[in-house]
Chains A and B, each alone.
Chain A
Amino acid sequence: MKILVAIKQVAILDDEFEMLDDGRDVDHDFCDYEINEWDDYSLEEALLIKERSNSESEVVVLTVGPEQSEDELRKCLAKGADRGIRVWDDAIEGSDQVAIARIIACVVEKEAPDMVFLGVQASDHAFAQTGMTVAAMLGWPHAAVVSSLDYNSGDNHATLKRELEAGLEEEIAIDCPAVLSIQLGINEPRYASLRGIKQAAAKPVEDLSHTDLGLNDNDVGEAGSVSRIRKMYIPERGHAELIEGTSAEQAKRLAEIIKEFRGV
């Protein structure tokens, strides 16, 4: 049994930050990085299935990202994943969620896992599309926002619950292999032990480029994307006014403001 878990290294902004000159992204000097919170849960779900399994089973973590994102792969390996795959090259820069999904789908075809888990969304861009786009590209059964999963190694179908609007839940059965996007709270993610961290340093991480996956330059980067970020900015906010003075003065100012708003 093999489960492929796709993860993403996300940026956390400092309290103060600056935008890049082209106005399309935050200057990364002002960012820290960590694993996307949802991915902790999808990894944990995969590890729990592996631990329950009686047969040989493997959890493979995949990320599409630059060299520094290997840190997040190593953390997953420290928690118990078996090996990592990192796909990156200059051409991939600028890929949107569709281009990233195309890359992930290629890795899935190459690895042929029994299950693919992704987080419902990434906390930085919050598109919540990658998982289901991967499923669409593969033509696999899929379920989004999975909050409970009943699946064991070797099963050819899974029963799961999905979160719907207004607190509703849906219980469905799905054929495997399938692509699931995993919701927060489905389990309690573990911490890595120091032993796990030491062992992770020796576990294999395979670095691939888009050509290794048989993709063309047009399949990735901005060329392979259906959207592009035009502008990233902080919307202008309204401002508050502190009304000072005696009660009478305050009342007078308040009346003025009300008149202004009513356009009197």
Chain B
Amino acid sequence: MARDPKYDILFEPIKIGPKTLRNRFYQVPHCIGAGSDKPGFQAAHRSIKAEGGWGGINTEYCSIHPESDDTHRVSARIWDDGDIRNLSAMTEHIHKHGSLAGVEMWYGASHAPCMESRCTPRGPSQYASEFEMQTYCHEMDQDDINEVQQFYVEAAKRSRDAGFDIIYVYGGHSYLPLQFLSPYYNKRTDKYGGSIENRARFWVETLEKVKNAVGDDCAIATRFACDTLYGEDSIEIERDGLKFVELADPFIDLWDVNIGDIAEWGEDAGPSRFYQQGHQLTWQKFVKTVSKKPVLGVGRFTDPEKMTEVIRSGQLDIIGAARPSISDPFLPNKIDEGRVDDVRVCIGCNVCISRWEIGGPPFICTQNATAGEEYRRGWHPEKFPKAGSEDSILVVGAGPSGGECARVLMERGYTVHLVDQAEKIGGYVNDVATLPGLGEWSYHRDYRETQLEKLVKKNKNSQIALSAKPLTVDDCLEYGADKVVIATGSSWNTDGTNAATHDPIPGIDASLPTHVTPEQIFAGKKEIGKNVVILNYDPYYMAPSLAEKLAGDGHDVTVVSAAPFGHYMHFTLEAPNMHRRMHEMHVNILGDTAASRAEANRLEIYDVYGDGSVREYRGPGKLPRNENKTHRWIEFDTLVLVTGRHSNDELYRGLKARKDEWKDNGIKDVYVIGDAWAPKLIADATFEGHRLAREIEEKRAQYPKPYRREVATWGAPHMPGGEYEIEYQN
């Protein structure tokens, strides 16, 4: 199908300095965990987007000097010739598809703790980072300013040599240039402090120097947090924000505008729990009233209608995207080809970001199982190897794992029967998406539902059997499938079994009318009393979500939390507003508190650190610490059990127990994936389904094939022509 002409504006080229962007789809700098040390990962992940139609694609933040070292978080680096070599792989592969490659030159000041380089970062004034509270910077004098500006210039030249078309001076997320601009950081009294002109001086001078050095060859961009959301203590769009745009505009070819800071950058990378598509526009749209240069901005834009409206109404010139480009690297091409219903829409869960926040691991995506696997596993998001056999495959369970497995198997051309008791594809996601703020998570189901419905029409022997009778072990054995995939998910524990004690909690029993599991709440068959206690041993969203839901329904909610409450939501940037909401809704959170036993209407709780601090050997049968005497009872009308999950693996284990009957029934192998194997993130369950579908012809397909590793190699020095042997100073 052809593109809908109403989206033509998204495909109009636009000039940025000496370069031309081929359309209005632009992947802003975002982290993936590749940096400069995993060049294959970097090159493949970025260039797959060029293939998918993105006109411009950037690195993540790219350090210009060892003084800006964010270890353990993974940034790119353009410190030396070794980095030029590694990042060149990215630019070469992007250029093959006619797109522009950009680099985001970054100096973090005290936000970068320099744990690898052991350097001391420099900043406009001395302060401890509000993000890395243990890290202080050294206040720059004029010599320092000249030197750091020269770091940018030298890094820009290296970037040009690495083949980059767009060179950023990064001042979003409160990194160095913004620290000069903002009185929140900048307490100087010289020509770099005080008035807006003085505070803008460092940034404007840096832009001018970089432009003079590489501006004939490369477009100069800046990422600017045009409002830091602190009110008049920092940058406000209609005050210093627009004045800065005016001052810097002559030295800039492209504005990349966002809001917020680093300590709470979920205000920029807004999770769908709190922010919808285009949530920054009320700030971003001012920039074009002042600037004469192209302006781009992010806002989790996934809908071409919205993108078109944003450009037509003159709010932005170019659609910036990080998460939507991860979720669907082929988003532009799908719009171009009139296949909008094939777009794998970002659900805004921020699990991608969580991996950067954790520091170290490669990123993952809940929607796109191939994200980050392009190079090391050779997975293309839209291309699948042809079926390796005539085998027909029964997939039991149409949740995230089974649904994805069936989708990829069908893409490969296998005959697949996907069976689920529920009337809809989606499994657990159908419940989770009913939680407050998580409605957009249902896009995970919607994508698979749409694709599966299309794919099943391509093979008349394939079938999607919903509202099906539960399959027994006998049913599976006699089904006539060559291979059976069990994706039956997991359930919340009904007896209080938890991560701390690994045992049930005496008295907890979800068959009681006053004790309920999350599934029982979703089912809506048990009455919830006024006074609710949530017992939480899970560090992610379930307890905060149920607290919000139940408090919103008018219940008085207390959370007894043995796990750090909503801890993983710090990594997904959901935590700050989640805590604000708990506060607004008067949810009472008892942290570091666990439960020892329960009755129908009361729970015995204790402080987890209530036992003795002195540890000593006291003989067999005696604990090495003084007894915990903090135990006390609290009452409830309803006890909600967020204590832990267990696999629904009866069917899998039943089939394994009758392995000797497989052959006679024509079954070659049986697999278990997703939560049925072990409970996990939706992203990981999706990945497992995808992986099995790609590797199902392997001899032991239950277990992943080794992936291609990218590691520093003994005998190959990082610096071209450098030394790798052990050498000591004399």
Interface residues of A (CB under 8 A from B): 32, 71, 74-75, 191-198
Q: Which of B461, B465, B481: most chain A Cβ within 10 A? A: B461
Please determine whether B392 and A194 come into contact, CB atoms closer than 8 angstroms: yes
Q: Is B415 an interface residue (CB 8 A)?
A: yes
**Residue-by-residue, is B384-398 near A (CB-CB < 8 Å gives 1, otherwise 0)?**
000000001010000
15 A/B residue pairs, CB under 8 Å, sorted by A: A71-B460, A74-B460, A75-B460, A191-B417, A192-B463, A193-B478, A194-B394, A194-B461, A194-B479, A194-B481, A195-B478, A195-B479, A197-B392, A197-B415, A198-B480
- Across the interface, name the chain B residue whose C-beta is closest to A200: B461
Contacts A75-B460, A194-B415 known; list 4 others, CB within 8 Å.
A191-B465, A193-B480, A196-B480, A197-B480
A194 to B463, CA, bound (A): 9
**Residue-by-residue, is B450-482 near A (CB-CB < 8 Å gives 1, otherwise 0)?**
000000010011010100100000000011110
For the complex of A and B, 4 pairs with smallest distance between CB atoms: A195-B480, A194-B480, A191-B465, A194-B392
Residues of B within 8 A of A75 (CB): 460
A74 to B479, CA, bound (A): 17
Residues of A within 8 A of B479 (CB): 193-195
Q: How many A-B residue pairs have CB under 8 A?
A: 32
Residues of A within 8 A of B419 (CB): 191
Residues of B within 8 A of A195 (CB): 478-480
Smallest beta-carbon distance B295→chain A, Å: 27
Residues of A within 8 A of B465 (CB): 191
Smallest beta-carbon distance B404→chain A, Å: 20
Residues of B within 8 A of A32 (CB): 457
A74 to B394, CA, bound (A): 20
Knowing A196-B480, A197-B480, A198-B480 are in contact, say whether A191-B463 is a contact too (CB < 8 A): yes
Residues of A within 8 A of B461 (CB): 194, 197
State how many residues of chain B have any CB contact under 8 Å with chain A.
Answer: 15
Interface residues of B in 193-247 (CB under 8 A from A): none
A75 to B465, CA, bound (A): 14
Smallest beta-carbon distance A62→chain B, Å: 20
Interface residues of B in 467-511 (CB under 8 A from A): 468, 478-481
**Residue-by-residue, is B143-177 near A (CB-CB < 8 Å gives 1, otherwise 0)?**
00000000000000000000000000000000000
Residues of A within 8 A of B394 (CB): 194
A75 to B457, CA, bound (A): 14
Please determine whether B480 and A191 come into contact, CB atoms closer than 8 angstroms: no
A46 to B672, CA, bound (A): 37
Residues of B within 8 A of A74 (CB): 460
Residues of A within 8 A of B392 (CB): 194, 197-198
A264 to B465, CA, bound (A): 59
Smallest beta-carbon distance A16→chain B, Å: 9
Smallest beta-carbon distance B425→chain A, Å: 15
Please determine whether B460 and A194 come into contact, CB atoms closer than 8 angstroms: no
A192 to B417, CA, bound (A): 9
Smallest beta-carbon distance B585→chain A, Å: 35
Please determine whether A191 and B415 come into contact, CB atoms closer than 8 angstroms: no
A242 to B112, CA, bound (A): 53
Smallest beta-carbon distance A136→chain B, Å: 35
- Across the interface, name the chain B residue whose C-beta is closest to A78: B461
Smallest beta-carbon distance B668→chain A, Å: 13
A191 to B466, CA, bound (A): 9
Please determine whether A194 and B417 come into contact, CB atoms closer than 8 angstroms: yes
Residues of A within 8 A of B481 (CB): 194
Smallest beta-carbon distance B469→chain A, Å: 8
Residues of B within 8 A of A193 (CB): 417, 478-480
- Across the interface, name the chain A residue whose C-beta is closest to B341: A15
A57 to B465, CA, bound (A): 27
- Across the interface, name the chain B residue whose C-beta is closest to A32: B457
- Across the interface, name the chain B residue whose C-beta is closest to A195: B480
- Across the interface, name the chain A residue whose C-beta is closest to B415: A194
A193 to B469, CA, bound (A): 12
A18 to B538, CA, bound (A): 55
A26 to B415, CA, bound (A): 31
- Across the interface, name the chain A residue whose C-beta is closest to B480: A195
Q: Which of A191, A193, A195, A197: most chain B Cβ within 10 A? A: A193
A193 to B417, CA, bound (A): 8
Smallest beta-carbon distance A191→chain B, Å: 4
- Across the interface, name the chain A residue whose C-beta is closest to B417: A194
A75 to B392, CA, bound (A): 16
Smallest beta-carbon distance B3→chain A, Å: 15
- Across the interface, name the chain B residue whose C-beta is closest to A16: B1
A198 to B417, CA, bound (A): 13
A196 to B417, CA, bound (A): 12
A197 to B457, CA, bound (A): 16
